[in-house]
């Protein structure tokens, strides 16, 4: 079945540092890929998405490129802020699996001033 694997956290870094969160996936079809973010005490919200190979999703300084050859969708940000402290979830939606949304386990990121 479909699955999403992302690096375990917590990831702790200083303000203005470079952030990478690795995400790889397994899917039977050609999925769409998503990154959701969960701020403390809140629900998940969409950060960015990509619907086909080589697409790049971007939002709020975050970027992720859909890499079909490596089945990856790594999240990056060049200069993080304290306000980026949150839990980040990689997810896929596979049409071959009825478009069910499958989430990774989440990666907690803590940015220190």
Partner 1 sequence: DAGVIQSPRHEVTEMGQEVTLRCKPISGHDYLFWYRQTMMRGLELLIYFNNNVPIDDSGMPEDRFSAKMPNASFSTLKIQPSEPRDSAVYFCASCRDRVSGANVLTFGAGSRLTVL
Q: Which is nearer to partner 1, 43 or 113 (CB)?
A: 43
- Phi-psi category of 22—alpha, beta or left, where left has phi over 0 and alpha has psi -120 to 50? beta
Q: How far is the CB of 13 from partner 1 (least distance, A)?
A: 22
Place of tokens 């859909």: 66
Residues binding partner 1 (CB under 8 A)? 31-32, 34, 36, 41-46, 49, 51, 89, 93-95, 98-101, 103-106
Closest separation between CB of residue 12 and partner 1, Å?
Answer: 18
Cβ proximity to partner 1, 78 vs 105, nearer residue: 105
> What one-character-per-residue DSSP string does 8-53 give?
-S-EEEETT--EEE-EEEE-SS--EEEEEEE-TTS-EEEEEEE-ST
Nearer to partner 1, 2 or 17 (CB): 2
């Amino acid at each position: 079945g479909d699955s999403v694997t992302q690096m375990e956290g917590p990831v702790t870094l200083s303000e203005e540092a470079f952030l990478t969160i690795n995400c790889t996936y397994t899917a039977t079809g050609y999925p769409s890929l998503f990154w959701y973010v969960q701020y403390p005490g809140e629900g998940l919200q969409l950060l960015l998405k990509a619907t086909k190979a080589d697409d790049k999703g971007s939002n709020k300084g975050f970027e992720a490129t859909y890499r079909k050859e490596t089945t990856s969708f790594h999240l990056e940000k060049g200069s993080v802020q304290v306000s980026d402290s949150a839990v980040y979830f990689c997810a896929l939606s596979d049409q071959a699996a009825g478009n069910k949304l499958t989430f990774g386990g989440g990666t907690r990121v803590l940015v220190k001033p």
